[in-house]
Structure 1
Amino acid sequence: MKYILVTGGVISGIGKGVIASSFGTILKCCGISVTSIKIDPYINIDAGTFSPYEHGEVYVLDDGGEVDLDLGNYERFLDVTLHSENNITTGKIYLDVIRKERVGDYLGKTVQVVPHITDAIQEWVERVANQPVNKKEDEKPEVCIIELGGTIGDIEGMPFVEAFRQFQFRVGRENFCCAHVSLVPQPRSTGESKTKPTQSSVRELRGLGLSPDLIICRSELPIGNDVKDKISNFCHVRPEEVICIHDLTSIYHVPILLESQGIVEYFKERLQLDLPLPRPNRFMQKWYDLAKRVDQLRKEVNIALVGKYTKLEDAYTSVIKALQHASILAGYRLKVNYISASDLETEMKLQNPVLYHEAWQKLCKSNGVIVPGGFGSRGMEGKIEACQWCREMNKPFLGICLGLQAAVIEYARNVLKLQNANTTEIDPSTKDPLVIDMPEHHTGTLGGTMRLGKRTTIFKDKDSLLRKLYGGKDEIEERHRHRYEVNPDYVQQLEENGLKFVGHDSEKVRMEVIELPDHPYYVGVQYHPEYLSRPLNPSPPFLGLILASVGQLGNYISHGCRLSPKNLSDESEDEELTVKSLSAKILQGKSHYELNNTSDKADSSSASSDVENSIVQMNGIKINENGVLEISKNDDCENKEQDGSKNIENINCK
């Protein structure tokens, strides 16, 4: 077994995960079986109870492990199936050591960080490194890539650095390589690359007993050979052992850039690897083609993401990646419009009308809408509003987990006229509990008690649109993470009124998939399809959303779920909302935005007799003769102006 340790210096979030994943991708293309381990030095047992604002999304594995989002990068790049033990935390290590101490494994010795904690780390790494991660269960990995989270010098990371200082001698130099990723800042005021931060970081790492064999320099722009020579001279490595990774147009260029700088030859020599394929095989050619395709995308598809944690993109990393995978395959460049669900709620119209109208304008200008998973009451009503708007306006929609539940509640309220319909998560005493908790997954303990991991979903409707997108399979396996489910007592009533439950679990108890017939694409899934999406194999629900958003879903289905240049037209069949539909929503008090009908001349001419040159006035809002929405000045607008906040485009406070 060969080990590659990836450490980071100067700042966190420098791209260690992508670089570690790229190492693995290149080695896999050379015929080497690769696995990955991510070390997070926090005391939490796992990532399950993290706030997305603090640590980004929680990534879920097949075995139900709730882990760091970097493991998602490893799975997507390497196309492997990792386990919960592939994510090591300080909490897991200490818990393991304390359990051993309680049963007397240490024979009364004083339990200390060295040697007991450091030994436990090394034993864990060796055990997990030999676990199969490919579809062939008997195929053991040959190389293990380990990413040490945080930066060198962090107090919480010290036991791990010491463990690997010992580990390099335990496995032998020919089996261990340390790659240090460091920032090379390039201040615009001087225009030159600064190497001092990297020198200091390497000096600190060497002071802790680890000498980097490879230095990966992260910079905004490419750096010259003179800078590489300087780093080589001061950091005790050869010039060819200084690799430069500057900011790229997409992460898919990273493996290509590494390969072009001789990383294959370096690993072959340094780790004495016997490569089945001396050069990356044709799988690497697919990465070249993928990166080139991404750069050549010209057409754009706009997807509105209505969520709770939209201030931090990392909170929806896997969702965004899945959308990107689908967009690339469809031949479109993805633009995500992040919308805070609470901004769509009626209360926001009173508190901050400018923010409210801006949110609705983003929603209405999007080609498709996705409502991802989440927890808690904040923003729930806004998600329900978004579901209603997509249903009524025939806008392509994908609801995931809580998104499915919001769609079911909306349908019950507005179609079944059950005005009290709600989820017991928000209103435990609701008269119409459309969404209820699962008692076996609601034990009072938050960590690790949800319905987690890969589970089977069975399609009961042969004509299901989603079943067709999955290639006509009768059953699929997807990963789950939820504690609430659709109340089975309401399923028949919902189906009789048009909402179809086309998929359920293997016990035929829990509803997994909803679809709305006679709608371009209105799909909700209880599982999380984003976790199994891959760059070269997009997730079917996401692909369906993108294709419906650009008006090509019908072509895709009719051609046997195959894409070709002949199937994809240059122009989207998805038409913008007409004046009539926009004015209808305004009269309902739902959304207020600029009227723009330039792409739909036929519909706008037919509706012009009703709306053109007219003024609609309600709640201080009117549409002028130019089709632009105006808001009468009120205290909220005045306060906004006093705060120096600028009004949103096409909305004028008077």
Structure 2
Amino acid sequence: MKYILVTGGVISGVGKGVISSSFGAILKCCGIEVTSIKIDPYINLDAGTFSPYEHGEVYVLDDGGEVDLDLGNYERFLDITLHKQNNITTGKIYQQVIDRERHGDYLGKTVQVVPHITDAIQEWVEKVSKKPVSETGKIPEVCIIELGGIIGDIESMAFVEAFRQFQFRVKRENFCVAHVSLVPQPKTTGEHKTKPTQSSVRELRGLGLSPDIIVCRSEQPIGQSVKEKISNFCHVAPQQIISVPDLHSVYEVPVFMENHGMAEYLSDRLHLGITPLPPMRKYMKPWIELGDRMRHLKYEVTVGIVGKYTRLEDSYTSITKALHHAGNKVGFKVNIKFIEASNLEQTMLVDDPASYHSSWHNLCVCDCVVVPGGFGKRGVEGKVEACKWCRINDKPFLGICLGFQAAVIEFGRSVLKLDAANSTEVCEETAHPVVVDMPEHNTGEMGGTMRLGKRTTVFKDSAVNSKIKRLYGNKDTIDERHRHRYEVNPEYIEQYEKNGLHFVGVDVEQKRMEILELQNHPYYVAVQYHPEYLSRPMDPSPPFLGLILAAKDRLKAYLTRGCKLSPREPQSDSYDSEEECNELTVKLPNDHDDSSSAYSSSSLA
């Protein structure tokens, strides 16, 4: 087993997750089986109880693991299924060690950070790295480990010490360290400053780990003289220092890094045996085509996201990625407007009329609307108002989780004339509880008690003409990931369906409503699950694809063709010559648009 440890320096949120994912994408293109591990040095057992403002969205895995959003990057880039064990936290490690101590596994010894905690970390990494990849059943050849935070954090000291020992445990030829560091460029001087990188590498070396690769993150590419300066002070050859500036999209990073010969270096450093490599245009073709397609999108579509946590865009990372995946597929550049749900409520007309009118203006100019999930009472009435506006004005709409429940509440009030219709999460004493809690998932505990992970949704026999079923390829069942503890009250289902709101998808026991759809609407679909978690750059999620197509009045034609794109749309790109493809890969390092950067230290973890 080969291991690549990715550490960070200077500041957090500099892009370690994307760099780690890009290492994996490059190796996977070379035929190497890859898995990933994310280490979060916080004491929480998992990310499930975090506020979205704390660490961004909570990403959910097939097995119900609530984890850091970086595991979403890994799954999207590598197109693999990870498990809750692929996310290590300080809390998990200490809980395991304490349980062992209580069980008597240490035979009366004093339990200490070294060796017991550090040994537990190493054992966990070795065990997880050797689990077969779900998609192929093969044992991974390379495990990429991202250590959260930055070198020097007191929280991560035990992990750094564990990997200092681990490099000797697995031997040098099986262990490689990549250090990601910010190289700032102050506007006052206009030159890149290397001191922060020097300091972080010096601290890393002082802790017993020497970087084999230094990835320098910056707004603009750093020059050769800067690389040589870093090389002199950090004991790393200049060719092992990679400058990764802000690019047009995170999906350009694998091709960018491979332009620097990353696969060849890793093959040599870790004895992977993947050289000599074929021409880059062959093994990196999917990523080259994806980057090229994203740079040449001819049309634009504006999507409004009516959310509760819009102050931090990372709160909706998977949703924004899924929208871009769908847009790229059908040739549309997606422009996103984040709309604070509470600003749409009538009370804001008095409290803050400027925000009220601005938010409603943004909603009205959007081509389509997404109402995503969330928890608690705040902003729910604003989400209900957004659902009503989309329904009445034939605006393409996609509701997710709480957005699904808001659509049910709105229809109940407006069409069924149940004025008090509400969720018991918002109003426990409502006269018409159209959304109720699931008793088995409301145990009083806050962590890991929701309906979590991949569940099967069954399309009803009556859903023959359903748009969403056709978008899923007319399958009878689908598997999607869930994260909720409230559901539609089954006592009201018949009343809803008689009045035109059809629940076309249900759970396997046909008790829980999973998908709703309005037939006499261009696209009014809401789902209880979270389709954004399974969206991939080259295989977008069907509900999002339908939303983008409907926003530009192309959904009907797409469905008529049997869910196939027309020849005019960029279903797949090809290159007329080897020179044209090579020209793209040569131009890529310096050909980027800072004004629309999707890969910046401020937006990535």
Q: Does 1:463 align with 2:465?
A: yes
Residues 442 and 485 in structure 2, CA contact (< 8 A), matched pair in contact too: yes
CA offsets, 1:196-224, max 9 Å, x none? 11111100000111111111111111111
Q: Distance in 1 between matches of 2:283 and 2:553?
A: 31
State the match for 1:157 in structure 2: 156
CA offsets, 1:577-616, max 9 Å, x none? xxxxxxxxxxxxxxxxxxxxxxxxxxxxxxxxxxxxxxxx
Q: CA deviation at 1:38?
A: 0.3
CA offsets, 1:152-174, max 9 Å, x none? 00000000000000000000000
Residues 267 and 275 in structure 2, CA contact (< 8 A), matched pair in contact too: no
CA offsets, 1:106-149, max 9 Å, x none? 11111111100000000000000011234122x11000000000
State the match for 1:498 in structure 2: 500
Structure 1 segment 263-342 matched on structure 2, within 5 A: 263-275=262-274, 278-279=277-278, 282=282, 284-342=284-342
Q: Distance in 2 between matches of 1:270 and 1:246?
A: 25
SS of the residue 2:42 aligns to: coil
CA offsets, 1:276-335, max 9 Å, x none? 883457452111011011111132100010010001000000000000000111111111
SS of the residue 2:284 aligns to: helix
State the match for 1:523 in structure 2: 525
Residues 10 and 201 in structure 1, CA contact (< 8 A), matched pair in contact too: yes
Q: Does 1:115 align with 2:141?
A: no
Q: Distance in 1 between matches of 2:565 and 2:253?
A: 27
State the match for 2:258 in structure 1: 259
State the match for 1:550 in structure 2: 552
State the match for 2:577 in structure 1: none
Q: Does 1:244 align with 2:243?
A: yes
Q: Which amino acid aligns with 2:264?
A: E
Structure 1 segment 349-388 matched on structure 2, within 5 A: 349-388=349-388
Residues 466 and 504 in structure 2, CA contact (< 8 A), matched pair in contact too: yes
CA offsets, 1:53-86, max 9 Å, x none? 0110000000000000000000000000000010
Residues 331 and 569 in structure 2, CA contact (< 8 A), matched pair in contact too: no
Runs of 4+ in 1 over 3 A off after TM superposition: 279-283, 565-568
Structure 1 segment 414-453 matched on structure 2, within 5 A: 414-453=414-453
Q: Distance in 2 between matches of 1:35 and 1:108?
A: 36
Q: Distance in 2 between matches of 1:550 and 1:128?
A: 45
After TM superposition, the structure 1 stretch with the greater mean CA deviation from structure 2, 120-129 or 280-289, is: 280-289
Q: Distance in 2 between matches of 1:565 and 1:522?
A: 27
Q: CA deviation at 1:564?
A: 2.6
Q: Distance in 2 between matches of 1:402 and 1:283?
A: 42
Q: Distance in 1 between matches of 2:37 and 2:269?
A: 21
State the match for 1:488 in structure 2: 490
Q: Distance in 2 between matches of 1:333 and 1:315?
A: 21
Structure 1 segment 127-166 matched on structure 2, within 5 A: 127-137=127-137, 139-166=138-165
Q: CA deviation at 1:475?
A: 0.5
Residues 59 and 72 in structure 2, CA contact (< 8 A), matched pair in contact too: yes
Structure 2: gaps spanning 5 or more residues: 571-605
Q: Does 1:235 align with 2:234?
A: yes
- Matched positions, count: 568
State the match for 2:220 in structure 1: 221
Q: Distance in 2 between matches of 1:422 and 1:510?
A: 17
State the match for 1:64 in structure 2: 64
Q: CA deviation at 1:462?
A: 1.9
Q: CA 1:424–1:91 in 2, change beyond 3 Å: closer, same or farther?
A: same
Residues 30 and 281 in structure 1, CA contact (< 8 A), matched pair in contact too: no
Q: Distance in 1 between matches of 2:535 and 2:512?
A: 23
Q: CA deviation at 1:567?
A: 6.1
SS of the residue 1:349 aligns to: helix
Residues 555 and 567 in structure 1, CA contact (< 8 A), matched pair in contact too: no
Percent identity between matched residues is 68
State the match for 2:575 in structure 1: none
Residues 45 and 92 in structure 1, CA contact (< 8 A), matched pair in contact too: yes
Q: Which amino acid aligns with 1:145?
A: I
Q: Distance in 1 between matches of 2:247 and 2:162?
A: 34
Q: Distance in 1 between matches of 2:392 and 2:275?
A: 57
RMSD between aligned alpha carbons?
A: 1.2
Residues 7 and 178 in structure 1, CA contact (< 8 A), matched pair in contact too: yes
CA offsets, 1:249-277, max 9 Å, x none? 11111111110101111101100112288
SS of the residue 1:14 aligns to: coil
Q: Which amino acid aligns with 1:9?
A: G
Q: Which structure: larger Rg?
A: 1
State the match for 1:610 in structure 2: none
SS of the residue 1:507 aligns to: coil
Q: Which amino acid aligns with 2:265?
A: Y
Residues 264 and 275 in structure 2, CA contact (< 8 A), matched pair in contact too: no
Q: Which amino acid aligns with 2:108?
A: G
Q: Does 1:183 align with 2:210?
A: no
Q: CA deviation at 1:243?
A: 1.0
Residues 503 and 513 in structure 1, CA contact (< 8 A), matched pair in contact too: yes
Q: Distance in 1 between matches of 2:352 and 2:221?
A: 45
State the match for 1:648 in structure 2: none
Residues 466 and 519 in structure 2, CA contact (< 8 A), matched pair in contact too: no
Q: CA deviation at 1:428?
A: 1.1
SS of the residue 1:42 aligns to: coil
Q: Distance in 1 between matches of 2:275 and 2:429?
A: 63
Residues 30 and 276 in structure 1, CA contact (< 8 A), matched pair in contact too: no
SS of the residue 1:57 aligns to: coil
SS of the residue 2:347 aligns to: helix
Q: Which amino acid aligns with 1:213?
A: D
Q: Distance in 2 between matches of 1:503 and 1:298?
A: 35
SS of the residue 1:166 aligns to: helix
SS of the residue 2:338 aligns to: strand
Residues 31 and 277 in structure 1, CA contact (< 8 A), matched pair in contact too: no
Residues 181 and 218 in structure 1, CA contact (< 8 A), matched pair in contact too: yes
Q: CA deviation at 1:446?
A: 1.1
Residues 31 and 276 in structure 1, CA contact (< 8 A), matched pair in contact too: no
SS of the residue 1:377 aligns to: coil
Q: Distance in 1 between matches of 2:474 and 2:302?
A: 28
Q: Distance in 2 between matches of 1:169 and 1:415?
A: 68
Q: Which amino acid aligns with 1:482?
A: H
SS of the residue 1:433 aligns to: strand
TM-score normalised according to structure 2 size: 0.93
CA offsets, 1:485-511, max 9 Å, x none? 000110000000010000000111100
Query: Larger RCO: Structure 1 or Structure 2 (Cα < 8 Å, ≥ 6 residues apart)?
Result: 2
